[in-house]
Amino acid sequence: MKFAFIHISGKRRGQTQYFDCARLSLGSGHDNDLVFPADGHQPVVPQHVELYEADCQIQLRNLDPSVTTLVNHNPLGEATLHDQDLLQLGPLGPKLRFRIQAEEYVSCKRSREIWRDAMDVAAEARTEGRGRVMSFIGQLVYDLRRHATRSIKMMMAALLILIIGGLGGMAYYFYSTESTHEQHMASLLQELESARLTRVELEQRTEEERGRMADVLTAGQTEIDRLVVMLEEEHRQDRRVSPEEVRLMKRRLQELETERSSAQLLIKRYGSVCFLYGAYGFLEKDQSTGDPDNLFEYTGTGFLISEKGFVVTNQHLVEPWTMDPSGVEIVKSGFQPKLVTLLAYCPENPQPSKVVVVEKSEQGDIALGQLSPVPQGIRPIPLRTQTPSGVVGEAVVVLGYPVGVEGVLARMKGEIVNALLKKRELGLARLVQGIAEQRGIRPLATQGHIGDIVPGRVVYDAQTTGGSSGSPVFNSAGEVIAVNSAYLAPFRGGASFGVPIIQALSLIPDES
């Protein structure tokens, strides 16, 4: 009868031996047909076991009563072997798989036998201190090369070609996809990078802002002068003007004077409207620590509402990547946004405070932060806690930092600005710190009237622009009624939007 032994463990691990004989002896003695050297770790006696054919079956007989032979993990003195039986020469001895060979597979293995032998060798790898995966792969390759039939070898060659081709196709796909993705990301990052201003651009925009502010101040004074002239003309020429017209002109003149003095009073009273400087970036999908390679800077406004340092601003200033379509797309691509820096510079205070985000509103564009350290000697701003936020036609004042750094520089002396602009080459953060050290952080007041009040939004015509985000909107009583959030660019000065301050009240801790 033809049969085979597959060595599962021991020094011949992975080998397959074929036999066609009526008797076979196994042991450590050199006169055995199958010799297992005794090395102390696998105790095999000189004459351990013999196999012989009887009644068309292979019989096993243990030759030395001092040792045992295990068949399928059971110690037996004699046994009839069956196909796929597992033999072990002693409890610590080598293991062998017994296999009866069909005539057409006298010197070859079936594919399932190759697979099973590789699994058996891998299972023993752990007990011998070897890697299971590598043992499995090594045995599989060995049997395919030495004991596979021609058809199996051809099939495996074709399969290998398919696998290599598939892996190559996948590698090319991932490479091309990754390349396209990197190009797309580079384009998005370039869009964000292009928003940074050079020194020359900053100088130009500062001059433009100076001119715009002069026009705003001139426009207000011009209307006052026009009304004064009109009233004087009426008295001098003794023209017949109705008392109602005179009353309306005097009333308008009084409103303009009141609004101008109210804005000046608010600026003097509250040094708690802070200039915000922030920087953010993006981390790779699997990057949990560290800072982004590229940082993007921005500015805005926030205001102090509590002696414990709580400050109100817009949600899009604590999540600045939501302000730019490129940033939103980068986040959708799987990158993680990270707010690296958010500092608050209070007027007349050269040292900034770190803004720690406490809460973000689920209703509107409002967020609550807390300053660390809490600036001393600054009066918190009172909030209107009743509804409605105001009435249509009511005068409002917005205190903030429109146009950001350019707006601040536009109100400083020329020689100081020139010295500060040299710091621009060192980065926006150094420039802002330089402005603060020169006591240049002062909010700008713009005035207007409420045009409409709708759920979740107050509309007014006070001039606002980029940098005004997070600014407090005051009523005539000096209470904050809204947080400036957005404006319509084509109608700057005519359509600004604020979130009612009532939405911020639910974010403030009770103990504050």
Give, as one character, the DSSP assignment of residue 83. Answer: T
Cβ neighbours of residue 280 under 8 Å, at least 6 residues apart? 292, 295, 296, 298, 320, 321, 337, 338, 339, 340, 341
Cβ neighbours of residue 254 under 8 Å, at least 6 residues apart? none
Closest CA to 317 of 466, 492, 487, 481: 466
Secondary structure element (H or E) that encloses residue 304, with its range: strand 296-304
0.85 exceeded by the pTM?
Answer: no
Torsions phi, psi for 443 (to 5 deg): -70, 155
What are the structure tokens assigned to 2, written together? 């033809």
Secondary structure element (H or E) that encloses residue 331, with its range: helix 325-332
pLDDT digits (tens, 9 = 90+) for 196-207: 555 556 556 656
Mean pLDDT for all residues in the chain: 80
pLDDT exceeds cutoff 90 at 345: yes
In 13-149, which ranges are continuous DSSP H helix? Answer: 111-125, 132-146
pLDDT exceeds cutoff 60 at 239: no
Hey, CA dihedral for 229, 231, 232, 238, is it positive or negative? positive
Domain 268-505 has CATH 2.40.10.120: yes
Question: Amino acid identity of 401?
Answer: Y
Asked if residue 60 lies in contact with residue 68, where contact means CB atoms within 8 angstroms, the answer is: no
Average pLDDT over residues 327-339: 87
pLDDT digits (tens, 9 = 90+) for 420-444: 877 666 688 999 999 999 999 989 8
What are the structure tokens assigned to 232, written together? 């004087």
Which CATH number applies to 2-148? Answer: 2.60.200.20
Structural domain boundaries of the chain? 2-148, 205-261, 268-505
The radius of gyration computed from the CA coordinates of the chain, to the nearest angstrom, equals 43
What does the pLDDT read at residue 372? Answer: 93
What are the structure tokens assigned to 441, written together? 């952080």
Complete edge-to-edge strand list for the sheet that includes strand 16-20: 16-20, 2-7, 95-100, 86-88, 70-71, 74-75
> Distance between CA 79 and CA 433 in Å, rounded?
91
